Structure 1
Amino acid sequence: MRTASASAGTKLGYQPSLDGLRAVSVSAVLLYHMDFEWIPGGFLGVEVFFVVSGFLITALLVEERHHSGFVSLRGFWTRRAKRLLPALYLLLLVVPAVTLLFYRDAAGRLGGDVLAALAYVSNWWQIFLDESYFAQAGRPPVLLHLWSLAVEEQFYIVFPVVFVWLLGRAGRNRTRNVLVAGALASTVWMAILYEPYTDPSRVYYGTDTRLSGLLLGAVLALVWTPWRSRARPSRAAGPVLDVTGVLALGAVAWFFARVNEFEPFIYRGGFLLLDVVVIVLIAVLVHPSARLSRVLAIPPLVWLGVRSYSVYLWHWPIFMFTRPELDVPLTGWPLFVLRMGLTIGAAELSFRFVEQPVRNGALGRLRDRWRTAGPAERPRIQQAVFVRFGALFLVVAMVGLGLWSAATDPERERMQLEAAGAIGLDGSLAEISEGTGPASEPTAATAEDTTTTTSTQAPAEG
């Protein structure tokens, strides 16, 4: 929900600089998934999204309660559904269909992955399957990246109820203390569960171990509301804020450039430290006196940030369908250009023709048009709707038939193992070694004995 401009001095309003921060974060994730060695910590872009999301979601709740005296949870969840579900449903129609038609080596587990995505439990589904986040043989699951969307949606469902109840019963200060305690508890729990020199996927996927960013973002929204202040800030406030913001932005860049996913530090308080840095940066960006916000509010960054959810949704399957020298005869920057073109194109189509129409009430207008249509117009409306739903039905039927076929194909498992190099042509088992570094995709020369190490992140949506 967009409120009045922040210049009105009473509401947070739309903050383009936060979309700019999203653009920086999603760019880090995409560059990381391209396996560029100079950004080993790009996977932490998702933690930045978690903090931004926690802040914005809580700010909406706080502002609604402040101005109207109550919070409509139904309205909150309706807005979240309009924002998140249309693009996800489109992805869950197109990606399985493409997989079943052209990439059947990745089709074996699609049924469970799609159901888990629809229920927003993808992260727990991966834990249940003991699916490594960091080491994948052959083609990684094309919907593996939806784990972080599951973390966010679980937060969106539970947190507003608990937050509104706490705020009404315990007051602002005690609610703040509970949120801080929750963030610390999640951090400690991650450190307890983490075992050095073993696969950390369990602590990486778990909602219980990834709450610190979301909760600290919520704390910031609860205690930091400079847009409400009627006092005129001193001349020194702006420069102090800008210097603080630049230092925080530099610290985020340091995390991106210096930290990798296998360092024990990140699982023993590193995520919490990054969360603190990000809330400082957000606090600066939303302050009316800060000029740093203008830097992150430049049009190209805002354009990408507004579409960051769609960019994230589409980039991972596109990357998995364009493995270098296996699916496409490209590597390096030419491959990057191809992937970015496909990703931005798919994201823009989704944003322009699916997400925005639904958010702007296209379904409601169709309903109203039907109610007011005369006898001559209704058949035309019916025909248009039937054509669209007929096409949708054909896609769903094709996906369902393909899933059934993939699940019952007796050769499926053998084909997957052969593609991954797990068995030889004579049926003998081949050794698969785990990757030990950032994500790397097999080339044609090493496709039969290389394990792909992957990290999949999702931008948070506020």
Structure 2
Amino acid sequence: MTTDHDAYLARKYFPGLDGLRAIAIIAVVWHHCVRSELLPMFSRGFAGVDLFFVLSGFLIATLLIREKAKNGKISLRDFWARRFLRLMPAYYLLLLAMLAAYLLLKPDDPNTQRFVDGFHIYALYLSNWYNPGTNNMGITWSLSTEEQFYIIWPFIEAFAAPFFRLGFWLVAIVINQLVNFGVFDPMIENIFGAGAHEKEILEATFTPILFGVALAHILNDKKYYGWACRLCGFKYAPYVIAGFLLVLVNIPADDISGLFRLVMHLGMTAWIASIVLQPTAPLTNALSLRPIAFIGAVSYGMYLYHMWCIHIVRVVIGKLGLSQFWLQFPISLLLTMLVAAASFYLYEKRFLDWRKRFRK
């Protein structure tokens, strides 16, 4: 008889995860549109990026683990080719379009100079280490963080023995948490001077990605899979964990670094596990509804373009003299969805179809 774990290993698609992507990107668009003080969660839409990170770590590690189990090795060339075709065409199109627009329309603008001077930072995915300060490009720190993960972690999965892989993971988690809890702040300020704690890399975190990687390994192992089922796979787990996260993000706090953010990342990881472990649960089915799954499917493009869509909406609403607060978010979200869908079907899909050449 096929066990639940065998069914999990045979599953090629995880229902509900596109819905979680939709929640993440809607939260991010909200965060950059409005900041309501009605509830604390209305000012914490940035946590959508952390949810993206956990999802990315889980899915990428799962692909790598399964490829190695099936073929005895991981083709780094094929993996990187697939990542390149998924992520870079739209990203570099945006960079080149911005460069042309700035140089042609605003050659003397200070923001143009910042973009030109920092173009190589954006092009090389290094903006999580240094932010050139170009308007509407601050979001690229998260793209850089993920890209660095895609470069480094496949090496670990491909060549490191389990003991060394675990050791690397633990060291990375410890370093990230020392930063998260501010342990390094005094030392960094002594070396780099006052304000050094605001360096871009200290605001970025690899912890949620690493938690996603850990979840992939836990669910891949039959014994640990059973433990995960007992912790996160019971009938009402998706609702219980979602309720816990909802309460957590509504706890008032001026600074969520430290224990708050660590618990939030653990809660997100547990929530994803509960969705994966119950592919036919009502909440999983709700997250898989076509409109929600569609938003998740084009969420990468939405993240790329949403700052520019918000900028356009702000300008138009301002000129019409309409209320920024009530109109900005729904119009920006709709415009972002339309732009991302057009990009996906008219441009990105051509490159996505080529990925079949790099799948065994």
* TM-score bucket (shorter structure): 0.7 to 0.9
Partner of 1:206: 201
Of residues 242, 245, 248, the one that matches 1:252 is: 245
Structure 1 residues 338-377: aligned runs within 5 Å: 338-361=331-354
TM superposition shift of 1:362: 9.5
- The secondary structure found in structure 1 opposite 2:257 is helix
* 1:295 partnered with 2:286: yes
Give the conservation status (yes or no) of the 8 Å contact 1:239–1:290.
no
Partner of 1:333: 326
Q: Distance in 1 between matches of 2:104 and 2:204?
A: 37
Question: Structure 1 residues 144 and 215, CA, compared in 2 at 3 Å: closer, same or farther?
Answer: same
Partner of 1:143: 137
Partner of 2:176: 186
* 1:115 partnered with 2:115: no
Q: Distance in 2 between matches of 1:283 and 1:220?
A: 7
Give the conservation status (yes or no) of the 8 Å contact 2:15–2:276.
no
Structure 1 residues 23-422: aligned runs within 5 Å: 23-37=22-36, 38=39, 39-100=42-103, 104=109, 106-126=111-131, 141-166=135-160, 169=161, 171=162, 175-176=165-166, 178-190=168-180, 191-194=182-185, 201-202=198-199, 205-206=200-201, 210-225=205-220, 241-258=234-251, 262-263=254-255, 266-288=256-278, 291=281, 292-323=283-314, 329-330=321-322, 331-361=324-354
Partner of 1:14: 13
Question: Structure 1 residues 157 and 237, CA, compared in 2 at 3 Å: closer, same or farther?
Answer: closer
Question: Structure 1 residues 192 and 239, CA, compared in 2 at 3 Å: closer, same or farther?
Answer: closer
TM superposition shift of 1:111: 0.9
Task: Count how many residue pairs are aligned between Structure 1 and Structure 2.
Answer: 334
Question: Structure 1 residues 218 and 72, CA, compared in 2 at 3 Å: closer, same or farther?
Answer: same
Question: Structure 1 residues 183 and 208, CA, compared in 2 at 3 Å: closer, same or farther?
Answer: farther
TM superposition shift of 1:242: 3.6
TM superposition shift of 1:210: 0.7
Give the conservation status (yes or no) of the 8 Å contact 2:310–2:328.
no
CA RMSD of superposed structures (Å): 3.3
Give the conservation status (yes or no) of the 8 Å contact 1:142–1:317.
yes
TM superposition shift of 1:114: 2.8
Give the conservation status (yes or no) of the 8 Å contact 2:177–2:258.
yes
Q: Distance in 1 between matches of 2:30 and 2:196?
A: 23
Moved >6 Å (runs of 4+): 236-239
- The secondary structure found in structure 2 opposite 1:293 is helix
Give the conservation status (yes or no) of the 8 Å contact 2:275–2:284.
yes
TM superposition shift of 1:283: 1.2
2:157 corresponds to which letter in structure 1?
A: F
Post-superposition Cα deviations, 1:361-388, rounded to whole Å, max 9, x if no partner, equal 2998xxxxxxxxxxxxxxxxxxxxxxxx
TM superposition shift of 1:80: 0.5
- The secondary structure found in structure 2 opposite 1:323 is helix
2:301 corresponds to which letter in structure 1?
A: S
Q: Distance in 1 between matches of 2:287 and 2:197?
A: 33
Question: Structure 1 residues 8 and 354, CA, compared in 2 at 3 Å: closer, same or farther?
Answer: farther
Give the conservation status (yes or no) of the 8 Å contact 2:142–2:204.
no
1:312 corresponds to which letter in structure 2?
A: Y
- The secondary structure found in structure 1 opposite 2:73 is coil
TM superposition shift of 1:100: 4.8
Question: Structure 1 residues 243 and 112, CA, compared in 2 at 3 Å: closer, same or farther?
Answer: farther
TM superposition shift of 1:200: 5.8
Give the conservation status (yes or no) of the 8 Å contact 2:233–2:274.
no
Q: Structure 2 stretches of 5 or more lacking a match?
A: 187-193
Give the conservation status (yes or no) of the 8 Å contact 1:87–1:310.
yes
Question: Structure 1 residues 19 and 308, CA, compared in 2 at 3 Å: closer, same or farther?
Answer: same
Question: Structure 1 residues 342 and 70, CA, compared in 2 at 3 Å: closer, same or farther?
Answer: same
Give the conservation status (yes or no) of the 8 Å contact 2:185–2:197.
yes
- Could you state the TM-score of these two structures normalised by the residue count of structure 2? 0.81
Question: Structure 1 residues 351 and 116, CA, compared in 2 at 3 Å: closer, same or farther?
Answer: same
- Could you state the TM-score of these two structures normalised by the residue count of structure 1? 0.64
Question: Structure 1 residues 217 and 165, CA, compared in 2 at 3 Å: closer, same or farther?
Answer: same
Partner of 1:416: none
TM superposition shift of 1:18: 0.9
TM superposition shift of 1:178: 3.9
TM superposition shift of 1:64: 0.5
Q: Of the two, which has the highest radius of gyration?
A: 1
Bigger shift: residues 61-70 or 8-17: 8-17
Give the conservation status (yes or no) of the 8 Å contact 1:252–1:274.
yes
Identity among equivalent pairs (%): 27
Q: Distance in 1 between matches of 2:356 and 2:277?
A: 37
Q: Which has the higher helix share?
A: 2
- The secondary structure found in structure 1 opposite 2:118 is helix
